[in-house]
């Protein structure tokens, strides 16, 4: 999607995550009357999970944003919405700089999931195994370029 079609205060964040393999279908930067939050809707639970894993493993220690439990809503910080936008753009830089390695981590975490394997495991089991693989690869280290 062209960046011009995205709301301006979340556009870089959405594009950076897209480059890292997270698919979204809707976003709102909350920059309107009575806007109190940033909202991002993901294309399915896999993208929401991948977004949360990237946030927890790469960004959380450096950028203080309070995501909802499913990583789709950020309430504006006490310092105001522009402080939240600045933090979101800081995270966007981190994600974009690491995009190639993030895609490699995602791909390596899914390498053993052939059709036969998926037939014999529940979605919950597959999700848990994916999370375990991703966390293991993050622990092995990610280089920021």
Q: Please report the DSSP string for 60-115 in residue order.
A: TTT----B-TTS-EEEPBTTBHHHHHHHHHHHHHHHHHTHHHHHHHHHHHHTT--H
In a domain, 109, yes or no: yes
Among 58-67, 68-77, 110-119, whose mean pLDDT is lowest?
Answer: 110-119
In a domain, 39, yes or no: yes
pTM for this model (two decimals): 0.86
pLDDT tier for residue 97 given thresholds of 50, 70 and 90: very high
In a domain, 89, yes or no: yes
In a domain, 71, yes or no: yes
Whether residue 62 has pLDDT greater than 90:
yes
Name the residue with higher pLDDT: 36 or 88. Answer: 88
Whether residue 135 has pLDDT greater than 60:
yes
Whether residue 138 has pLDDT greater than 90:
yes
Structure confidence at residue 69 (pLDDT): 81
In a domain, 60, yes or no: yes
User: What's the average model confidence in pLDDT over 14-43?
Assistant: 87
In a domain, 95, yes or no: yes
What is the span of the domain harbouring residue 18? 3-140
> CA–CA separation, 36 vs 46, rounded Å?
26
Structure confidence at residue 1 (pLDDT): 61
Task: Say how many domains are in the chain.
Answer: 1
CA 76 to each of CA 3, 12, 24, 31, 72: distance values in angstroms, whole numbers, following the listed order: 23, 18, 20, 10, 13
pLDDT digits (tens, 9 = 90+) for 65-74: 888 888 899 9
In a domain, 145, yes or no: no
In a domain, 19, yes or no: yes
Structure confidence at residue 99 (pLDDT): 96
């Amino acid at each position: 999607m062209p960046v011009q079609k995205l709301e301006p205060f979340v556009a870089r964040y959405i594009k950076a995550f897209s480059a890292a393999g997270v698919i979204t279908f809707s976003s709102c930067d909350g920059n309107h009357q009575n806007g109190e939050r940033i909202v991002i809707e993901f294309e399915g639970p896999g993208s929401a999970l991948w977004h949360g894993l990237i946030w927890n493993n790469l960004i959380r220690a450096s950028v203080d944003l309070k995501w909802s439990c499913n990583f789709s809503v950020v309430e504006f910080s006490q310092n105001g919405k522009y402080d939240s936008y600045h933090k979101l753009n800081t995270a966007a830089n981190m994600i974009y700089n690491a995009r190639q390695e993030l895609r490699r981590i995602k791909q390596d975490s899914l390498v053993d999931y052939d059709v036969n394997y998926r037939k014999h495991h529940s979605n919950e089991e597959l999700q848990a195994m994916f999370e375990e693989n991703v966390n293991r690869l993050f622990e092995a280290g990610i280089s920021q370029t």
